[in-house]
Amino acid sequence: MKNAYDLIIFDWDGTLINSIDWIADCLQQAGELCGIGAPERQAAKDVIGLSIDKAMQALFPAADDQKVAVLVRHYSAAYFSKPISPDDLFAGVYDMLVQLKDDGYQLAVATGKTRAGLDEALAATGTAQLFCATRCADETASKPNPLMLHELIAHAQVDKDRVLMVGDSIHDLQMAQNAQIASVGVACGAHSEDFLQQYNPLRCLQKPTQLLDYIQG
């Protein structure tokens, strides 16, 4: 796979940073605080990657727009109550990103997070300078709509055949499929390898740092 790509687009939560359990906790807390009840744990994980509004609508289909707005406020308050640090990145991820950039790859992020949430995470982990561009769900279409990938590809000025999407959820891989670009799954986040394989990734890795061996082998 050496030199097969010019642009590598990463999901954030569950792909580069070990945040899936915390996000699921906050989604469950939001349901409890709204008096609706906490969703099942896997159900909470299943919506990670969607925009927060779409995630709440999927978890709580009976909630009207007003209730969804309250759920989002409770979620945001819970999520931002915990500071992020470089230690929250999966082991070896920072060095992997530095290596990929040094090797000439353009790197980008496509995430279901809000812009405020991603900017805080990038600053807290010291990774902002490693990415040529980022897109968040509150400034473009939510996954699995491929719009954010189209925008990142246009920004990088590369052919889509030279782009790789890396993600831990079916929403990431379905988005890549919808954009007609190659994908690699990582089974360390929201969804298991069995679920990820539904969307025909080139490979399913057990941890994100295995990407280096895969694309440079």
In sequence order, which residues have a C-beta less than 8 Å from that of residue 93 and are 6 or more positions away? Answer: 16, 17, 208, 209
Structure tokens given for 56? 């709440």
Distance CA 121, CA 144 (A): 22
Structure tokens given for 71? 């759920």
Q: Which single residue is written with the structure tokens 């909630």?
A: 63
Distance CA 44, CA 118 (A): 20
Q: Which is the catalytic residue, given 13, 46, 168, 172?
A: 13
Rg (the chain; Cα; Å):
17
Identify whether 13 is a catalytic site residue. yes
What's the DSSP call for residue 206?
A: S
> In one letter, which amino acid is 29?
Q
Q: Which is the catalytic residue, given 6, 11, 88, 194?
A: 11
Alpha helix segments (H runs only) across the chain = 20-33, 41-46, 52-59, 65-79, 93-102, 115-125, 147-156, 170-179, 193-196, 210-216
Which residues are annotated as catalytic? 11, 13
